[in-house]
Chain A
Amino acid sequence: MKAKEFALKLGLTEEEFDRIQNGLGREPNETELGMFSVMWSEHCSYKNTRKELRKFPTTGPAVLVKAGEENAGVVDAGDGLALAFKIESHNHPSAVEPFQGAATGVGGILRDIFTMGARPVAFMDSLRFGRPDAPGEAGKRTRSLIHGVVAGISHYGNCVGVPTVGGELVFDPAYEGNPLVNVFCLGTLRHDQIRRGAAKGVGNPVFYVGAKTGRDGLAGAAFASRDLTEESKADRPAVQVGDPFVGKLLFEACLELYARPDLVVGVQDMGAAGLTCSTCETASRGGSGIEIELRKVPQRETGMTPFETLLSESQERMLIIVRKGRERELKEIFARWGLDAAEIGTVTDTGRVVVMEGGKVVADLPARMLADDAPVYERAAMTPAKLAEKQKYDLGKILPAQPRVKEDLLKLARSPATGSRRWVWNQYDHMVGLRTVVRPGSDAAVLRVEKPGGGWVRVAMTLDGNGRWCAQDPREGSKALVAEACRNLACAGAVPLGLTDNLNYGNPHDPELFWQLREGVEGMAEACRAFDLPVTGGNVSLYNQSPSGPIHPTPVVGVVGKVDEGVKLAPAVFSTGGGEVVLLGTTASGGLGASLYLQEVHGVIAGKLAAVDLVSEKKLHAVTRMVLAQPGVRAVHDVGEGGILWALAEMTFGEGSAGGEFRVPCGKERPEEALFGEGAGRILVELDETSMPTVENLAKEGGVELTHLGRTGGKDLQVTVHGAEMIWPVAELRDGFEKSLPKALGP
């Protein structure tokens, strides 16, 4: 096959082929084309989105390792403690094989974190599927996906002994053909323990450690010199299998290795594009070159071609550059942990990645060209033609003439969209490690982490996304997301330190879809700047669509923060009665645009979010943190999807099922808007009567509105709006809440 023809088969464009040929000054061979096809893919190079990603704020006083520098970003948490964290997607593999797709997603993000020198201490996951209660085959398939993905995350996460402490599970028909599985990991380390993925020091040995290399991940890749027969198709697994046992051994062995002073020069995990990526990226970062011999690479299949070995995505493998003369120490540590450790090459000063097989050169490419010089494309963005129509919003046509709020809340309570996610987190060991202070089910997870000098610091984290908000208004929706994540952290008394993002969008070649991405990035960037929140890194997943169309534009953000010292953590539920409940923040409901209420109760997605007031939001968070340092605060919960009424209902689902009597502020709007509107900037607090004057004062001084809503007590939720009073027995709401998800999923 001619080189250009093969390049096109691999997914490179004609222009890219010419660029490669011109850059090399000769025709590239098939193996080399394979290496370019993966390094210059969107997944590895971000060629379609790099220009947009540059709009994120990435610097700040707390940033120790910036976005784009290494495998994961790192922020300073004070007292010599650093936090490494990142989110990544495994959407398409999870659609093919949900268990292994999700499991290997967890394995991959785990490696990104311990590659940085950090001990992984927590996972979170953001999952999106079609509706599990959809009729017929569609529902059946969705339920099977959900079971598989949760089991896969459980399998890998539990086995490696890292607790999964939070996340989200969202259902929307838009994801039916294309589920989203985004996994987040956080690790801790001392400032002086940060590891870089750079190859330095001419003559230093390059080691391959971990599992053997097979043909994993090559199913989609074109065949080079072999004919594509049914047999050869079968040789290439369509799914990568993760081995969490080896994953655990690998990270313990690496952490032990890192503890030896001056031993490790550089380390990189082998993720997408395995050997190719790890060699050229470390060489590029180090301003050096690497030479490797493929015969030394441990292989679990026979007859693998150089193309296959270099592109294989077998899991649980790392590339480690060690100081010359100390090879024995590495081998001893890995032998103790029962892992392969093979010296496969050396660091050179040529700036090139040279790959040999049996002493013969099979690829010879400049490292920087592979790792950094993928073309950067400017994609066309076009405001969707139907945008105005999509955002059209005539409540008169959607809502009934007479409000039926009583039934509406019950409907919402019985929907799997709002139900308790206990079914999910009970399958995750969320307690291993003795660090989990606030378990899943609250607004943010909180971990206690050992400080290098002794003592604990509390770290809060949350994962948030909202495809519906972003579908109706990608810019404002993204702003609202960042605001919500920071608000969740404020409910845990935490100051946000850094944000990682997973951008899940459709086909970037479709200008209307690319417009969604651009708007989303700009909205997020604006919100991040308002909160002084650096973006520390993340992931882009494009081409998310199925025959029924693209997914909602779905950026997912993971925000990590440090809990203020004096804060006493408060639960998100009422305990017993006798407390006063106030609303901190605006009384404006934000209207029903793009709300869960319209989607779940009336079956439509219409309108758009009200503009997010970032300045007021920031003040609200500051005041909330101060309030949490006061005595007498019993509960705190932010208002989000389902509006203030659903937030109040959720607060009654504590152990004691305590209800309350509340009056909800209502402007010149329908009661449904006041009760279910999803406007930002609102937090509910339950406190002792005696603490009220202090809290009122804090709000006043902080420039935040405070509205008295009522008192807790009794077994009913009683709400008055516009003079109309409604009562629900908490038991009835709670029954719906607890059963809706298990019911929709079956065993």
Chain B
Amino acid sequence: MRFAVVQFPGSNCDQDCVHALRGLGQEARLVWHHETRLDPDEGVILPGGFSYGDYLRCGAIARFSPMMQSVKAAAERGQVVVGICNGFQILCEAGLLPGALTRNEGLHFRCEPSHLRVESPASRFTSGYGTGQMLRIPIAHGEGCYRAEPKVLEELEARQQILFRYCDAEGRVTAEANPNGSSHSIAGIRNQAGNVLGMMPHPERACEPEMGGLDGRGILLGAAGIGRSA
């Protein structure tokens, strides 16, 4: 599958995403945020980083980029959109996903491996895993605490839109295992239609043994429409 990785001023993980996707046999191109052309069969990746320095609020300025209009239209048409870390923040600011990402409860930036529990098998993004499977994928963020109104959280749970939750090494979802205080230990969610994924951990950093593990492959392959990861 072909992917467009959007570069905003301040994006840092754009090249990493391209590298990971190509390593998985997918085509990937970089698109500057001022461009507007997206092909109808392209998947979109909003990579991690510090778009606009995270100034004002993370993703608050990036959402007004010309490319975001095209991404919105693509999402509405059912094209796959994956927002990683800063990308997740941008999707929330743009209204493509509900809720918001706020400052980590501990107030510090945290870069470390995290354990994730796969919650729902029904999504293309988790089709490469079994429900309850535990993944080891790194996090690196200062504003990853997911918040939404109680009603919204209820709906996310009811509709199985929560795809990944933070857990401990034994797969238990506990307060101690939650690195940033996210409500319901939410690490990643999908939209109702199921074509848009937002997650704080970095799957592109878990696609090579030398980089610390392969657990991220399933998510990117899932985005590409490939079920069970190789």
List, in ascending order, chain B residues with CB within 8 A of A448's CB: 210
Within A408-435, the residues touching B (CB, 8 Å) are 425-434
Q: Is there an interface contact between A434 and B211, defined as CB atoms closer than 8 Å?
A: yes
Question: In the bound complex, do residue B111 and residue A337 qualify as a contact, i.e. CB atoms below 8 Å apart?
Answer: no
Choose among B34, B53, B111, B211 the residue with the greatest number of A CB atoms under 10 Å from its CB: B111
- A160: chain B residues at CB < 8 Å are 12
Instruction: Output the nearest chain B residue to A157 by Cβ-Cβ distance.
Output: B109
Once A159-B54, A245-B52, A434-B205 are accepted as A-B contacts, the answer to whether A429 and B111 lie under 8 Å apart by CB is yes
Q: How far is the CA of A278 from the CA of B210 in the complex (A)?
A: 42
A-B contact count (CB 8 A): 79
Partner of B10, one of A159, A425, A433: A159
Q: Which of A243, A427, A433 contacts B108 (CB 8 A)?
A: A427
In the complex, the chain B residue whose C-beta lies closest to that of A422 is: B112
Give the contacting residue for A432; candidates B16, B54, B142; CB below 8 A.
Answer: B16
B20 to chain A: closest residue by CB: A434
Chain B residue contacts of A243, Cβ below 8 A: 53
Q: Which residue of B9, B13, B211 is within 8 Å of A249 (Cβ)?
A: B9
Contact in complex: B50, A430 (CB < 8 Å): no
CB-CB under 8 A from B211, the residues of chain A are 431, 434, 436-437
A720 on the B face (CB < 8 A): no
A158 within 8 Å of B by Cβ?
yes
User: Beta-carbon contacts of A426-452 to B below 8 Å, as 1s and 0s?
Assistant: 111111111011000000000010000
B10 near A245 with CB under 8 A, answer yes
In the complex the two chains form, is B9's CB within 8 Å of A338's CB?
yes
Task: Give the contacting residue for B9; candidates A244, A245, A434; CB below 8 A.
Answer: A245
- CB-CB < 8 A to B110: which residues of A? 426-427
B112 x A426 contact (CB < 8 A): yes
B176-220 near A? 1/0 per residue, CB < 8 Å: 000000000000000000000000001011001011100000000
What's the nearest-Cβ distance from chain B to residue A696, in Å?
31
- Contacting B at CB under 8 A, from A241-255, are 243-246, 248-249
Question: On chain B, which size bracket covers the interface?
Answer: 20 to 34
- Bound: A148/B86 CA distance, A: 24
Cβ-defined contact, A248 with B111, below 8 A: no
Residues of B within 8 A of A425 (CB): 111
Question: Within 8 Å CB of B53, what residues of A?
Answer: 159, 243-246, 248
Closest CB in chain B relative to A99 CB, distance in Å? 13
Verify if A161 is at the interface (C-beta below 8 Å from B).
Answer: yes
Contact digits for A219-261, partner B, Cβ 8 Å, 1 yes 0 no:
0000000000000000000000001111011000000000000
Instruction: Say whether A433 contacts B54, CB under 8 Å.
Output: no
A161-B50, A244-B53, A245-B50 known; A429-B204 Cβ under 8 A: no
User: CB within 8 Å of A: which of B98-134?
Assistant: 106-112
Q: How far is the CB of A490 from chain B (nearest CB, A)?
A: 21
In whole angstroms, what is the CA distance A432 to B211 when docked?
A: 11
Expressed in whole angstroms, the Cα–Cα distance for A429 and B111 within the complex equals 5
Q: How far is the CB of A56 from chain B (nearest CB, A)?
A: 36
Known: A159-B10, A338-B9, A434-B19. A429 touches B52 (CB 8 A): no
Contact A161 B205 (CB under 8 A): no
A161 and B49 within 8 A (CB): yes
**Which residue of chain A lies nearest to B50 when distances are taken between CB atoms in the complex?**
A159
B109 partner residues in chain A, CB cutoff 8 A: 154, 158, 426-429
For A434, the chain B residues whose CB sits under 8 A away are 16, 19-20, 204-205, 208, 211
Whether A437 pairs with B55 at a CB distance below 8 angstroms is no
Q: Which residue of B lies closest to A337 (CB)?
A: B9
B49 to chain A, nearest CB (A): 6
| Cα separation A159 to B55 with both chains bound (whole Å) | 11
- Nearest CB in chain B to that of A436: its residue: B211
Nearest residue (CB) in B for A248 is B10
Choice from A246, A336, A431, A437 contacting B111 with Cβ under 8 Å: A431
| C-alpha spacing A448/B16, complex, angstroms | 14
The CB with the most chain A CB atoms within 10 A, among B16, B109, B110, B112, is that of B109
CA A266 to CA B106, docked complex, whole Å = 46
> A249 touching B10 by the CB < 8 A rule?
yes
B67 to nearest A CB, angstroms? 14
Q: Is the CB of B204 within 8 A of A426?
A: no
- Chain A residues in 8 Å Cβ range of B140: 158, 429, 431-432
* Complex contact A432–B52 (CB within 8 A): no
Most chain B beta-carbon neighbours within 10 Å: one of A160, A245, A338: A245
Residues of A within 8 A of B144 (CB): none
Shortest Cβ gap from B34 to chain A (Å): 8
Residues in A neighbouring B87, C-beta threshold 8 A: none
**Residue pair B138, A431 in contact (C-beta under 8 Å):** yes
Smallest beta-carbon distance B103→chain A, Å? 13
Question: What's the least CB distance linking B126 to chain A, in Å?
Answer: 23
Chain B window 38-70, contacts with chain A (Cβ cutoff 8 Å), 1 for yes, 0 for no: 000000000011101111000000000000000
Q: Which residue of B is nearest A428, CB measured? A: B111
Complex CA distance for A243 and B109, rounded to whole angstroms: 18
Nearest-neighbor residue (CB-CB) of B204 within chain A: A434
Contacts of A159 in B (CB 8 A): 10, 50, 53-54
- For the complex, give the distance between the alpha carbons of A432 and B12 in Å: 7
A residues 312-349 in Cβ contact with B at 8 Å: 336-338
Closest-by-CB residue of B relative to A159 is B50
Which B residues are CB-close (under 8 A) to A154? Answer: 109
Complex interface: chain A residues within 8 A of B205 (CB): 431, 434
Chain A residue contacts of B52, Cβ below 8 A: 245
Note all chain B residues with C-beta closer than 8 A to A747.
Answer: 106-107
The answer to whether B12 touches A161 (Cβ under 8 A) is: yes
- In contact, A426 and B12 (Cβ under 8 angstroms): no
B-side contacts of A433, CB under 8 Å: 12, 15-16
> Which parts of A157-195 form the interface with B (CB within 8 Å)?
158-161
Please measure, in the bound complex, the distance between the C-alpha atom of A426 and the C-alpha atom of B210, giving whole angstroms: 20
B179 and chain A: residue at smallest CB distance: A426
- A residues apposed to B, CB below 8 Å: 154, 158-161, 243-246, 248-249, 336-338, 425-434, 436-437, 448, 747
Supply 28 A–B pairs (Cβ within 8 Å), ascending by A.
Answer: A158-B109, A159-B10, A159-B54, A160-B12, A244-B53, A245-B9, A245-B50, A245-B52, A245-B55, A248-B10, A249-B10, A336-B32, A336-B34, A337-B9, A426-B112, A428-B111, A429-B109, A429-B111, A431-B111, A431-B212, A432-B12, A432-B140, A433-B12, A434-B16, A434-B19, A434-B204, A434-B205, A434-B208
In the A-B complex, the 4 residue pairs with the smallest Cβ-Cβ separation, listed nearest first, are A161-B12, A245-B53, A429-B140, A159-B50
Other than the given A246-B53, A448-B210, 8 more pairs (CB < 8 A) read A158-B142, A159-B54, A248-B53, A337-B9, A432-B12, A432-B16, A432-B140, A433-B16
